[in-house]
A and B are shown apart, each in its own frame.
Chain A
Amino acid sequence: MALNNALLKEFDELLTHYPDKRSALIPALHRVQEENGGWISPELMEDLAKYLDLPPVEVFGVVTFYPMFRIRPRGKHLVNICHNISCDLRGAQDVVAKVCELTGAHPGGTSPDGRFTVATVECQGACTAAPMFELDGVFHENLDDERIEKILGAVR
């Protein structure tokens, strides 16, 4: 994938929100990652750097600073399991175990069939409905084994 015209047009509008070009970088990276199946390739970073008049190394430095950006391809679906304090107190470890058992992925890795990437993440702001995970960007809260089976079972 390269930065297509539709995306560039979106970015032209995005630039009007800020007094300088660079400030559009993080929102633009989000869009690039969304359009590219959940990761950002070196070529895309270079394209975006060119578009924003930035040295590519600056874009790389930003991409690798922020946990939500990925620099390697991932499985079709992404499960981010919160393992911070409020979730840990209510069984986040069990959620990790259950999700890994059902998907065949190890924390931080992708299942052999390429369907799921599973990661542990820090507090997602759902602490009063712990434990939780985020599946393809959607929060699932108050998890137990039964709910996890149902949620992952419904994923195509």
Chain B
Amino acid sequence: MSRPTYLLDRIRPDSHTLAAYQKSGGYEALRNALKSKTPTEVIDVVKASGLRGRGGAGFPTGMKWSFMPDPAKDKRPRYLAINADESEPGTCKDRVLMERDPHGVIEGVLLACYAMRASTAYIYVRGEYRESYNRLFEALREARAAGLVGRKIAGSEFSCDIWMHKGAGAYICGEETGLMESLEGKRGHPRPKPPFPAMFGLWGQPTTVNNVETVFNVPFILERGADWFRSMGTKASTGNLLVGISGHVNKPGVYEVPFGVSCKELVDGYAGGIWKGRKLKAWFPGGSSTGVLPGSAIDVPMEHDAIKNAGSMLGTAALIAMDDHACVVRAMEVVARFYDHESCGQCSQCREGTQWLSQIFHRIEIGRGRMEDVQMLEDLAKSMAPGKTICALSDAAAIPTLAIVKHFKDEIEEHVRLARCPFVDPAHAKRAGAFAHAH
């Protein structure tokens, strides 16, 4: 495969150190931008590159940055918050960048701050990512000592502080306004929008929230140019992205590919095919919040529009594969339990809806479902989304539910008819309890 790569190319045993980073040209994009580009010019390059956010929604990054108010008219302090909460089930890509190439993240943060004229950034890392936190912490110490973070960076007039901030295990703090509340020392209750973060963010000040991988792309774009970036991927989704492939494949892993690569190639090529010589039965294209698709729909390009047309979403490009021995009801039982656990409870549709979904999938899976449950799942999911709640967690629970009902109705009904899960191996069930499945 001779596709151009860049995101993971620097990774070596010592690639987390400043010495190694600078040897491979690190911080040159920053130095050059500080010398020869105005903040507005940096935004223009990022806009021209077509870079879209890698946190799940795929929002154009340059446009997001230009929503920040004009500093000549709005003199309030402004902030960048980096979303390193990475908790979407199936997703573990940002971790690779933070652990193996933390200076690349820091350089991206500095360029984003320069572009938006922010002089303070926070990197909100999920509490469980101890290694990511430590690596970034140490990299920041090195960068500060080298005059690359703090006052008058690299001899320029640009000053910027970067602070690490640890989360504490709540998925909802990955939602950008939940993240801001959490950073302010509160429970992670997302805020109603508007007002939007660019006007009213952290401590009520102008704020932008970006994903780790998003800002990691920025130094490359500035060094190599918008045209280079657009030469990879598709017209509407440019550049390369990190794809995590987990579940029933031979070689699970995080792979770098250009947008538009076929998901079939991801599973059969990159991930070495479905394990144990089995067939692909179902898959989530981009984490557990995206609609499940049947195995027959695997030949679709990994790219925002194509996956949308196939009836799902790119999400965090975390492909979760299930083989033909897996039970989709069991999978949804796990996923629904997760959203029930993580709902922050502010909106009734989400608080009650996730609880009901979890209970109904559970009872179907253990053989106590009723035929009416299928309709109830659908009605419930439709009452929870789209856009009916303060944040999209409610949608994240509703979307895979509707997809399962659409593509695997027969399998749900079979559970009800048999009054048990057709996939449970009775011998196995003895050891781990009634819900155990063979693998």
Contacts and interface: CB of A to CB of B under 8 A. Distances in A.
Contacts of B86: 125
A29 B168 contact: yes
Contacts of A139: 131
A26 B126 contact: no
Nearest to B188: A65
Given A65-B170, A128-B253, A89 B185 contact: no
A111 interface: no
Contacts of A152: none
Given A22-B184, A124-B128, A83 B435 contact: no
A137 B128 CA distance: 7
Contacts of A96: 432
A100 to B, nearest CB: 9
Contact of B128 (A22, A26, A134): A134
Interface string A31-66: 000000000000000000000100000000110011
Contacts of A65: 170, 187-188
A128 B316 CA distance: 14
A19 interface: yes
Contacts of B322: 89
Contact of A85 (B131, B168, B169, B335): B335
- In this complex, which of A20, A66, A137, A138 has the most chain B Cβ atoms within 10 angstroms of its Cβ? A66
Nearest to B400: A85
B244 A123 contact: no
B91 interface: yes
Interface centre among A27, A52, A65 (most CB of B within 10 A): A65
A83 B128 contact: no
A91 B130 contact: no
Contacts of B131: 139
Given A89-B439, A127-B90, A138-B130, A26 B167 contact: yes
Contacts of A52: 185
A137 B185 CA distance: 22
A73 to B, nearest CB: 18
Interface string B348-364: 00000000000000000
Interface string B271-287: 00000000000001000
A62 B187 contact: yes
A128 B246 contact: yes
Contact of B127 (A68, A84, A91): A68
Q: How large is the interface on A (under 10, 10 to 19, 20 to 34, 35 or more residues)?
A: 35 or more
Nearest to B438: A91
Given A93-B432, A94-B432, A26 B182 contact: yes
Contacts of B318: 127
Contacts of B171: 122-123
B134 to A, nearest CB: 11
B77 A26 contact: no
Contacts of A88: 330-331, 334
A65 B173 CA distance: 11
Contacts of B435: 93
A130 B128 contact: no
Given A89-B439, A93-B436, A123 B331 contact: no
B433 interface: yes
B16 interface: no
A7 interface: no
B203 A20 contact: yes
Interface in A130-146: 130, 134, 137-139
Interface in B184-235: 184-188, 203
B252 A130 contact: yes
A68 B85 CA distance: 14
A126 B99 CA distance: 13
Given A26-B168, A127-B91, A128-B253, A86 B187 contact: no
A66 B127 CA distance: 10
B166 A23 contact: no
B245 interface: yes
A17 interface: yes
9 contacts: A23-B203, A26-B168, A61-B187, A83-B334, A85-B335, A86-B320, A93-B432, A122-B338, A122-B341
Given A66-B188, A123-B87, 10 more contacts: A23-B203, A83-B334, A86-B90, A86-B320, A90-B248, A93-B436, A93-B437, A125-B126, A125-B129, A139-B131
Closest 8 pairs (CB-CB, A-B): A25-B185, A66-B168, A68-B169, A67-B169, A22-B185, A86-B246, A127-B246, A123-B89
